[in-house]
Amino acid sequence: MLVKTTLAAGAALLTTLVSAHGNVTFPPARLPGAATIAACGQEAVNALLADATAPIENIPAVGCDRFLCKGVQFEDNLNGVQIFAAGEIVNFQVILPIPHEGPANVSVVDTATNLVIGRPLISFGTYADERLAVLPRNNTDFNVTIPDTIGEQCAEAGACVLQWFWFGTGAKQSYESCIDFVIVPS
């Protein structure tokens, strides 16, 4: 009986690890709650809670745009809004348990249109290359500078997010984390 239990536990752990891919751990990214349940459904929230690092394509969102912050709603993150000044350097920390080579970037996104404002704050042509024995440190620990060209667009909480976006080209999977923020005068 111990062998069956151990095998079952090992299989469950392997399933969890295999489904994990990548997520921003700092600054704090949006997390789902009641507003996300109302917008996207309980099944989508269950998927997000089961594996926050899973690709967007694994989220069974119905009625919401899963390609805008994985469908996670601003109203669930009112207490997580970061305050930045133009020109401020912001450190990002990312976990990448299962790398998939492909492009990645961090951009300021207008949440009303789901469009990038200006140019990406950082771009990687090759990111999370699974062929490397060790990933470059800048894949999991890097800085971006808050642009001074945004003006008033991001002065109101919920209007903009810092969006980390990565596409694994071989896996054909998309990963995303959103950080709510406002820009205050420097």
CA separation for the pair 154, 161 (Å, rounded): 8
- Pick from 159, 162, 158, 165: which is nearest to 178 by CA? 162
**Which domains, and CATH codes, for the chain?**
21-184 (2.70.50.50)
On the question of pLDDT at 62 being above 90, the answer is no
Cα angle value 175/121/181 (rounded, 5°): 75
52 — pLDDT class (breaks 50, 70, 90): confident
Q: How far is CA 183 from the centre of its chain?
A: 20
Mean pLDDT of all residues in 168-183: 94
On the question of pLDDT at 175 being above 70, the answer is yes
When the pLDDT of each residue in the chain is averaged and rounded to a whole number, the result is: 87
Position 54 scores a pLDDT of 85
pLDDT tens by residue, 111-141: 999 999 999 999 999 999 999 999 999 999 9
pLDDT tens by residue, 10-36: 333 333 333 448 889 999 999 999 999
On the question of pLDDT at 149 being above 70, the answer is yes
